Amino acid sequence: MRMGWDIKMQEYVLSSQEIVRLKHYIAHKHHGLDPKQRIAILSDAVHRIIESRLPSFPDEVKKQVRYELLLKNSDSLVIQVDDVLKHCMSLDLYQEDLLLPLSEWTCSKSALPVQEEVVRDILLRWSQELSPKVSLQALEQEWDQYDPTVCMEIAATSEPIIPFKYKDWFNQKISISLASFFVVVLVIMLINHVVDQQPSASVQIADPIQMLESIITEYEEPKLVDGIPTELKYVAIDTKRLQQYLQDKNSILAEEPYLSAIVEASKKFDIHPLLLFAITGQEQGFVRKDNKNVKEIANNPFNVFGSWESYNTTIESSAAIAAKTVFNVSSRRPGASHPIQWLNQTYAEDPNWWEGVTWFFDDMKRKIEDGSFEWPQ
């Protein structure tokens, strides 16, 4: 048995202590920045730190793994090594460009001198099981069960034929040689183990504060741009995720012709589609199907020209009017003004209207676009 190494393993890809450090650092160094900019810096730092500490997967796979890990741990943003291992069981580990980096990464996280070939076998087997117990500790326990005499048995099958009269002499010499060999191997393992615990120039561990330093330079002198800010201009979105988001809210806007009409209007007037949907969330709660006037409200979920009762037309017409209004009002916005709060002055009488729209917009960006997340308080 090879257990008994009393060395603390690195258990986290992103720890709660690092999150606290990130929050305190950005709050202290750049307290004068706009809250949205601070969130963007923190979000960018978290994304980069996590990606730098994941296995060396192809870029697209790494970004997808990072996204899904953050989604599953959105409450705390804390990600453990075991979280990564469990998630990677859903990957196709028969692909060498996935299995190889994952096994190398797993070996680097273990406090035991696990062999990569054995780790590869364990990971590949786990990926094929329905409910495997996946964790670094479980892997080390399985590795510890591998019989160390296997190699000696394999060697024994190729033992040369020795004349009987030389057998005792040969066995004695072999015993001495094997003893010497295992002593050398043990010394090399111990030396390598000690060396592995020392900082290596070839291994780069992302330091969150150093990474923040490089990111913050992009925000040192924020430029205030008049008109519609980039984040509120049209972008292509994942309509399937948008549809699922709306279905979760029992919204008729997930159906046609409403979904496509709103997206097309946003594209025509260069407005972010999620902003228009956020307005429907604030104005009409996304038009729930259980509302007795659902069909009439769905014709004008933006309440243009007062309300859906006073102006009831088609979704194509009301979406176009809402998008054009957002475009015209936003085009006159001074750079120092919050873009949705500026829109509030013309679009709604309620002075707090913009806060609800902003919340819905940010919530949809997180869940549909993998956009910036709200930092937990």
Instruction: Summarize pLDDT for 32-89 with one digit per residue, the tens.
Output: 677 777 777 788 888 888 888 899 999 888 888 888 888 888 777 888 889 999 998 9
Residue 8 has pLDDT above 70, yes or no: no
**Average pLDDT value for residue range 248-257:** 95
Q: Looking at 5-9, 114-118, 155-159, 280-284, which range is the least confident one?
A: 5-9
Interval 151-198: pLDDT, tens:
344 334 434 433 444 344 444 544 555 455 554 445 445 444 443 443
The overall longest dimension of the chain from CA atoms, in Å, is 112
Q: Which CATH number fits domain 230-369: 3.40.50.1000, 3.40.640.10, 1.10.530.10, 3.30.70.2740?
A: 1.10.530.10
Confidence of residue 129 (pLDDT cuts 50, 70, 90): confident
Q: Is 270 helix (H, G, I), strand (E, B) or coil?
A: coil
Q: Is 318 in contact with 301 (CB distance < 8 Å)?
A: yes
318 closest CA partner among 343, 338, 341, 296 = 296
- For position 376, what pLDDT does the model report? 37
What three-state secondary structure class fits 80? strand
- Give me the helices (H) in 3-145, please: 16-29, 35-52, 59-72, 81-88, 96-109, 116-128, 136-145
Domain ranges of the chain: 12-154+206-210, 230-369
| Residue 49 CA: distances (Å) to CA of 14, 110, 142, 188, 204 | 8, 20, 30, 33, 11
Check residues 308 and 373 and name the one with the higher pLDDT.
308
Higher per-residue confidence, 321 vs 169: 321
